[in-house]
Structure formats: C-alpha cells, structure tokens
Amino acid sequence: MKIHKEGRRIMFVTLLILLALNLLVFQLNKGADLVNRLFAGATVIVFLLILQFFRSPFRHLFTHEDLLLAPADGKVVVIENVFEPEYFEDERKQISIFMSPINVHITRNPISGLVKYFKYHPGNYLVAWHPKSSTQNERTTVVVESDAGPLVLFRQIAGAMARRIVWYVNEGDEVSQGEEFGFIKFGSRVDVFVPMDTEIKVELGQKVKGGETVICQLKV
C-alpha cells in the first residue's frame, strides 16, 4: 500500500508541525517525562489518523463494458428511482455510496467510455446523508457515454468534513473503468445515475470496494 499523491504534501506539513510541537512541549516540560510521552503518543495517533485518509491500496481491477464497478469504497446508502435535473432531466436509478472517515477516499471510473459532460459546482458542506447534499454541496458531475452505449452520470459530493474535491477528467476524455477519476479529501459520498432498465447488483447497507465491486449491469 502507498500514500496517494493528494496526501503527500499534507502529510509532510503535518509531520513538520507535529515535530515542532513535540520539541516545544519537551522544552517547556523538561523533566516531566510522563507528560512528554503522553503528548508524543497523542501526536503519533493524530499523524496515523490523517495518514489513513490518504492510503492508496492495490486493487485487482477488471473491465466489462456493461458492468458498472463501485466508484468508491464505502456503504450503499441509497438505491432509488429519482428525477435527475442537471443533465438528463428525466427519471433515473440512483445508487449512492457513503465514504466514512476510515474508507479509502479515491474515486474511480465506474465504466469505460467518453466523457460527454463535466461540471464543477462550488457549494455548501452539509453532512453527506442530508437529502439536499446532492444538489447544494460542493460537487462534480461527470457523464460518460459508456462503451456499451448507455450514458452514465456519477457525482462526487463533499460532506461536512470534506473541503476539497479533486478531479482528473474533463469533457472529451476517454476514461477506463476502475482508473482514478478523482479524490475527495476527507471523504463524503459518490452518486451514480443509470437508466431505469439497469439491473442493480447491490443492496442497501452493503459495503463495496471501489474498482472491484459490481454495483449494476446495463441493458444493452
């Protein structure tokens, strides 16, 4: 397992700050070995907690033109029929995956194809399970014309803790299933919108792995 590129600078700065704080505490508390050890232990825990946000584990990726893979690690919190107003302006099936603070925060292309639409929306930072987070929070929207034919929309959504969404795709790009399309710093959620005749392969509450778990099958 390696550290994701989005976390390297943050981890370096965090390490310097924590080292400086430890030196300061040791200077102010000379002779108070127990206090110094407790503080040092606390800073190690803080560093490890931040470090796990940016881990990038190896994944066994596979591709199939009509199967959608989970775009992120987490838990399936929404499976429902909804009206999608931004691009399709019609009814779609929505699958939402919530990323907790302990999940990997990389987001991956659920399908291979051509990016037909991309837009970044600045916004609020409501908790990710809030009904309005999908339309009011900071987010990105990506629409891919899949190799199988149907259009698939997926959306990164920032939550209460997340304060920055990173993306690596733009309109006109060819994307490959399972490859990284972005990163949500400190987590949140990803929504996927598929045609109404799509067969859902996951259940509410199911834990999924980005780039590995099949979440649905397109009808082609």
Residue 103 per-residue DSSP state: S
Question: Would you give the distance in Å from CA 101 to the centre of its chain?
Answer: 10
Give catalytic residues, as residue numbers: 188
Residues near 11 by beta carbon (within 8 Å), at least 6 away in sequence: 3, 47, 50, 51, 54
- What is the spatial distance between Cα 151 and Cα 113, in angstroms, rounded to a whole number? 9
Helix (H) or strand (E) holding 193: strand 188-194
Q: Which of 194, 217, 202, 211 is nearest to 82 (CA)?
A: 194
Label each residue of 28-81 as H, E or C. Answer: HCCCCHHHHHHHHHHHHHHHHHHHHHCEECCCCCCCCCCEEECCCCEEEEEEEE
